[in-house]
């Protein structure tokens, strides 16, 4: 770790500190300064750390990204943005890490529900936030969380009161408009007892719409912006509550993306996560779930890597109490020179008897230069448990290809169909129609389905 | 192969049987480690000059290293200056020429352990090299093996008599720079076995080395080198025991295997070092580097291990699959009880085309023990059509123990097929109930289920060892049921 780089960011900190939200709150000031100190000490994680051994983030250190302090909502074309909004959802738009009220759609919220920007929440609901902010994601965990705690400019705050079921989903749209900026956001989602909610996180950049041209890596170089996204979301699912979180990450081709979701589930709580990692030059997802008594969590993921993309998914499920159930399925398709990383860790604490945990990771390598590194881990300290994990790395099943060929499908189409089907299993799990179509569109851009009848999809 | 329940039951009620001490006059170096000790060691062993240089080079490198801490084990830092690096039974100037000249007390000790140094004994099909503390005391069936062209002797003897082979192969699989304990071993190793199977020879009998730690305050640094030349075949076994002592003793071994074209090496270990008492006091630290290089085409190396002893086991018998079509196998049963800790597994590095590897690992954790499987399957770009199948299962007995699985899979070749599966569970109540309903006691039922759980691995062991291994399992599980 080059401490000099850490201090390059740290040195700039005083210049922007005053503009960060929540400066009047002593507890937050304290949290930020502790995090800053931690970050100055250790900087961004290095591949020498076990949890980061396959992901080298030194690119972020070399580039010095700066926060975008001015609100630049004017740059955003509302019509273009509408295409990315989920129909029938409350949408909170963050442009370069700052809330834009004119672009957001937050009308008609049921009474008692809070959906607002983090900066507003710190102004109006600071007491409510205090026990939650920083309690699911400790800045001591690693450099990115510390960085996020010190630098965050805004984010999403959701509070769903008990016994309220939100029928419409909440979408938070992260948009980056310029090059070399960093957007650092911290979100907190609280779903109180027996409440239900669906939240969609979307990450896009104005310029960096994925270019479908597979050949010629540099043909789009003039368009794609390099920038840094560091988003941390802390989620609290209380007694018997239910939360479904979708994340669609299609950042620009040159972007660095760190997205961490840290979930604490209380007794009987249910949490489902669908993670679609498509964009970015280098992206890393952290999903840490702490499970309470008899709670359930389901983590689904799909990562598609092409060109020189590096996609790292890091999940950690802690069974802290008895009778909890966890299910995890991550699938990866890697083409070009892409590298996929999956690290899945399941920890079963001493008291967590009757735990039932299953983890699966399946990878498809499509080209000679693609690589996958996978590390599923089981750490078990209780005896009355059922835990299993499985990993496969390989190519398409020759028998299946032959089967299709014997039905007059040419080989290339057969391969396309099977690759698509492999990925589509994850897409089909999405229960929100308009989101499903958007994700499907992204999959099809990356793996074109020539000869496949789109009507079937 | 079948061991009746009564027998297991008998075994369950035994203490650590090989825990006795043999009273002997010994030549022992005072504790401490510096270059002078290495000079002296090399001189005592009457080694050629190049060996001394090799040792010093390794020692100097070791001094620059720090003890690694990434493994899932806990132990107090080892004071390397408090260990004596050489201890050998006193003997006549020329060394024993025949069995009659070996100290009868040593013979007695081996007899007690059930290892026949007498060639007329019942296990006549096995040639044994007996390593007692720092030296090899006897090697049986040398003549018969010599007729077949096989070299099987203590490595210190090989240093003097086959320096060209040693020069060529020693450190070629595990270089002295490999890791902390390999560097230490290269500097201070005292004895071990050397095997060379010439071209096209199928070794006429099982080869075996029996390691015994006897002296207190010593470390055992064993070095084994097995070379199987083109088209040859060898099966090698090792066994180990040590007295019961309250302090921890270090066993840092290096084993190197080289398999040439079409050669087959089968390496089996039944490790039964003293595991410490019920409260975790004493026991051997077993920090071992084992690696095989499948250099030639169609070569095959198979590791089979049954790890029941040692306070801490920390080893990863690995295969580097360099040759095209080469095969690596790893079958392991690791059992930990009381306060034992094991962090073991394998590394399969696929380099050649059409290489395949199989990993079957069975971990059993009881008492307050921690049992970890850690394995790496790495498929390099050159390894077209590589194939790996990994299965690691853990069985938990008792609610204070831990079982962990840390597999690493790195694939850079799209035509590779890699599969990994792991499960962790306890002995199912249904199975136990079924057995008990048919009149078996709970302990018998557990023994039976555990043996069944490990069957896939035991099947790979040579016959004599399979019986011993089954018995050991019953023994080590003592007191963990009910």
Task: Give the residue from A256, A291, A326 where a domain finishes.
Answer: A291
Q: What percent of chain A has pLDDT over 70?
A: 91
Q: How far is CA B460 from the centre of its chain?
A: 15
- The pTM is what? 0.83
**Position A20 in a domain:** yes
Tell me if B414 and A390 make a contact (CB, 8 A cut-off). Answer: no
Greatest alpha-carbon span in chain A: 71
Mutation pick from A393, A394, A422 vs chain B, by most beta carbons of B within 10 Å, is A393
**Position A303 in a domain:** no
Touching B: A residues 15-74, CB under 8 Å: 50
Chain A residues with CB inside 8 Å of B419's CB?
A: 390-392
Task: Give the residue from A252, A275, A291 where a domain finishes.
Answer: A291
C-alpha to C-alpha distance for B390 and B362, rounded to whole angstroms? 11
Q: How far is A309 from chain B (nearest CA, A)?
A: 15
**CB of A336 less than 8 A from some CB of B:** no
Q: How far is B313 from chain A (nearest CA, A)?
A: 18
Q: When comparing pLDDT for B158 and B70, which is higher?
A: B158
**Of B396, B411, B426, Cβ closest to residue A365:** B411
Confidence of residue A288 (pLDDT cuts 50, 70, 90): very high
A269 shares its domain with A404: no
**CB of A394 less than 8 A from some CB of B:** yes
Confidence of residue B249 (pLDDT cuts 50, 70, 90): confident
**Of A371, A382, A387, Cβ closest to residue B411:** A371
**Position A127 in a domain:** yes
**Of B400, B406, B418, Cβ closest to residue A377:** B406
**Position A363 in a domain:** no
Residues 6+ apart with CB under 8 A from B187: B38, B55, B56, B58, B59, B62, B176
Q: What is the pLDDT of residue A1?
A: 44
Chain B residues with CB inside 8 Å of A395's CB?
A: 414-415, 417
Instruction: State how many domains chain A has.
Output: 2
A282 shares its domain with A410: no
Q: How far is A310 from chain B (nearest CA, A)?
A: 14
Structure tokens at A297: 């969590």
Full domain range(s) for residue A59:
3-291
Q: When comparing pLDDT for A316 and A254, which is higher?
A: A316
Q: What is the pLDDT of residue A49?
A: 82
Q: How far is B440 from chain A (nearest CA, A)?
A: 22
Q: When comparing pLDDT for A167 and A23, which is higher?
A: A167
Provide the 8-state DSSP code for B101.
Answer: G
A9 shares its domain with A156: yes
**Position A329 in a domain:** no
A286 shares its domain with A406: no
Q: In B, what residues contact A, Cβ < 8 A?
A: 70, 379, 381, 394, 396-426
Size of interface A-B (CB pairs under 8 A): 110
Q: Which of A288-292, B341-345, B393-397, B465-469 has the lowest mean pLDDT?
A: B465-469
Could you give the C-alpha distances from B231 to B198, B202, B263, B267, B330, in angstroms and in order? 9, 8, 4, 17, 21
Scan for tokens 């304290």, then name that residue: A30
pLDDT (mean) for B457-471: 72
Q: When comparing pLDDT for B57 and A60, which is higher?
A: B57
**Position A335 in a domain:** no
**Position A308 in a domain:** no
C-alpha to C-alpha distance for B45 and B211, rounded to whole angstroms? 18
Q: How far is B273 from chain A (nearest CA, A)?
A: 25
A285 shares its domain with A403: no
Task: Give the residue from A267, A291, A315 where a domain finishes.
Answer: A291
**Position A95 in a domain:** yes
Three-state secondary structure along A29-51? HHHHHHHHHHHHHHCCCCCCCHH
A56 shares its domain with A174: yes
Confidence of residue A213 (pLDDT cuts 50, 70, 90): very low
C-alpha to C-alpha distance for B89 and A338, rounded to whole angstroms? 60
Burial class (CB in 10 A: 0-12, 13-18, 19+), A63: middle
Chain B residues with CB inside 8 Å of A370's CB?
A: 414
Could you give the C-alpha distances from A289 to A273, A401, B355, in angstroms and in order? 10, 38, 39
A2 pLDDT exceeds 80? Answer: no
Chain A residues with CB inside 8 Å of B376's CB?
A: none
**Of B414, B417, B425, Cβ closest to residue A368:** B414
> Which has the closest alpha carbon to A285: A308, A267, A307, A310?
A310
């Amino acid at each position: 770790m080059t401490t000099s780089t850490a201090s390059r960011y740290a040195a700039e900190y005083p210049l922007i500190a005053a503009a960060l939200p929540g400066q009047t709150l002593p507890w937050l000031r304290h949290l930020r300064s502790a995090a800053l100190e931690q970050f100055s000490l250790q900087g961004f994680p290095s591949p020498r750390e076990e949890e980061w051994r396959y992901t080298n983030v030194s690119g972020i250190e070399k580039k010095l990204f700066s926060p975008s302090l001015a609100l630049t909502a004017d740059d955003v074309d509302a019509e273009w943005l509408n295409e990315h909004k989920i129909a029938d959802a409350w949408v909170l738009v963050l442009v370069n890490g700052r809330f834009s009220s004119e672009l957001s759609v937050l009308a008609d919220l049921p009474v008692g529900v809070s959906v607002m920007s983090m900066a507003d929440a710190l102004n109006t609901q600071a007491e409510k936030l205090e026990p939650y902010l920083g309690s699911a994601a400790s800045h001591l965990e690693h450099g990115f969380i510390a960085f996020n705690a010190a630098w965050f400019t805004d984010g999403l705050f959701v509070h769903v009161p008990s016994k309220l079921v939100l029928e419409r989903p909440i979408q938070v749209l992260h948009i980056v408009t310029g090059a070399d900026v960093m957007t650092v956001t911290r979100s907190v989602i609280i779903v109180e007892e027996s409440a239900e909610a669906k939240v969609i996180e979307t990450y896009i950049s104005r310029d960096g719409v994925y270019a479908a041209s597979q050949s010629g890596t540099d043909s789009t170089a003039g368009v794609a912006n390099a920038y840094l996204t560091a988003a941390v979301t802390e989620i609290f699912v209380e007694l018997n509550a239910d939360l479904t979180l979708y994340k669609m990450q299609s950042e620009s081709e040159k972007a660095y993306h760190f997205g961490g979701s840290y979930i604490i589930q209380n007794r009987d709580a249910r949490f489902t996560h669908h993670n679609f990692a498509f964009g970015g030059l280098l992206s890393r997802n952290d999903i840490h779930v702490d499970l309470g008594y008899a709670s359930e969590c389901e983590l689904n993921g799909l990562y598609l890597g092409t060109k020189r993309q590096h996609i790292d998914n890091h999940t950690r499920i802690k069974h802290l109490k008895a009778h909890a159930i966890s299910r995890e399925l991550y699938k990866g398709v890697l083409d070009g020179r892409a590298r996929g990383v999956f690290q899945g860790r399941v920890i079963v604490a001493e008291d967590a008897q009757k735990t039932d945990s299953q983890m699966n990771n399946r990878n498809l390598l499509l080209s000679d230069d693609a690589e996958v590194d996978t590390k599923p881990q089981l750490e078990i300290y209780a005896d009355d448990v059922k835990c299993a994990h499985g990993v496969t790395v390989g190519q398409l099943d020759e028998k299946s290809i032959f089967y299709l060929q014997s039905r007059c499908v040419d080989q290339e189409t057969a391969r396309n169909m099977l690759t698509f089907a492999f990925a589509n299993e994850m897409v089909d799990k999405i229960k929100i129609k308009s989101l499903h179509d958007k994700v499907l569109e992204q999959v099809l851009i990356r793996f074109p389905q020539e000869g496949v009848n789109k009507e079937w999809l | 192969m079948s061991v009746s329940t009564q027998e297991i039951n008998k075994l369950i009620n035994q203490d650590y049987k090989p825990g006795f001490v043999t009273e002997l006059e010994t030549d022992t170096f005072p504790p401490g480690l510096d270059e002078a000790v290495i000079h002296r060691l090399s001189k005592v062993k009457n080694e050629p000059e190049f060996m001394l240089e090799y040792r010093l080079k390794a020692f100097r490198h070791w001094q620059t290293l720090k003890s690694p801490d990434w493994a899932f084990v806990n132990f107090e830092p080892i004071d390397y200056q408090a260990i004596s690096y050489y201890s050998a039974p006193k003997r006549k100037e020329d060394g024993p020429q025949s069995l009659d000249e070996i100290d009868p007390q040593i013979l007695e000790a081996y007899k007690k352990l059930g290892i026949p140094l007498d060639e007329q004994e019942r296990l006549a099909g096995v040639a044994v090299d007996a390593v007692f503390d720092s030296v090899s005391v006897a090697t049986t069936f040398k003549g018969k093996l010599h007729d077949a062209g096989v070299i099987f002797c203590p490595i210190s003897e090989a240093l003097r008599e086959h320096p060209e082979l040693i020069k060529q192969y020693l450190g070629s699989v595990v270089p002295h720079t490999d890791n902390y304990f390999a560097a230490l071993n290269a500097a201070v190793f005292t004895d071990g076995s050397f095997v060379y199977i010439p071209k096209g020879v199928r070794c006429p009998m099982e080869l075996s080395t029996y390691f015994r730690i006897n002296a207190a305050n010593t470390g055992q640094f064993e070095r084994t080198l097995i070379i199987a030349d083109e088209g040859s075949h060898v099966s090698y076994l090792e066994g180990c025991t040590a007295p019961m002592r309250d302090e921890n003793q270090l066993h840092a071994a290096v084993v190197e295997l080289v398999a040439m074209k079409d050669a087959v090496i089968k390496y089996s270990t039944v490790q039964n070092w003293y595991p410490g008492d019920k409260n975790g006091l004493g026991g051997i630290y077993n920090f071992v580097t084992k690696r095989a290089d499948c250099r030639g085409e169609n070569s095959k190396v198979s590791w089979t291990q049954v790890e029941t002893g040692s306070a801490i086991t920390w080893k990863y018998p690995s295969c580097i699959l360099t040759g095209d079509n080469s095969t690596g196998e790893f079958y392991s049963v690791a059992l930990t009880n009381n306060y034992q800790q094991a962090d073991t597994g394998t590394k399969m590095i696929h380099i050649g085309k059409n290489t395949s590897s199989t990993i079957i690992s069975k971990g059993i954790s009881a008492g307050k023990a921690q049992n970890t499987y850690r394995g790496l399957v790495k498929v390099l770009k050159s390894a077209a059509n590589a194939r790996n199948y990994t299965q690691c299962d853990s069985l938990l007995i008792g609610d204070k123990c831990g079982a962990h699985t840390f597999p690493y899979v790195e694939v850079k070749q799209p035509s590779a097929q890699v599969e990994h599966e792991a499960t962790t569970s306890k002995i199912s109540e249904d199975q136990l109930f079924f057995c008990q309903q048919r009149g078996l006691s709970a302990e018998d039922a557990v023994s039976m289920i555990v043996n069944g759980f490990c069957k896939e691995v035991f099947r790979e062991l040579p016959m004599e060892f399979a019986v011993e291994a089954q018995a050991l399992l019953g023994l080590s599980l003592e007191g963990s049921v009910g």
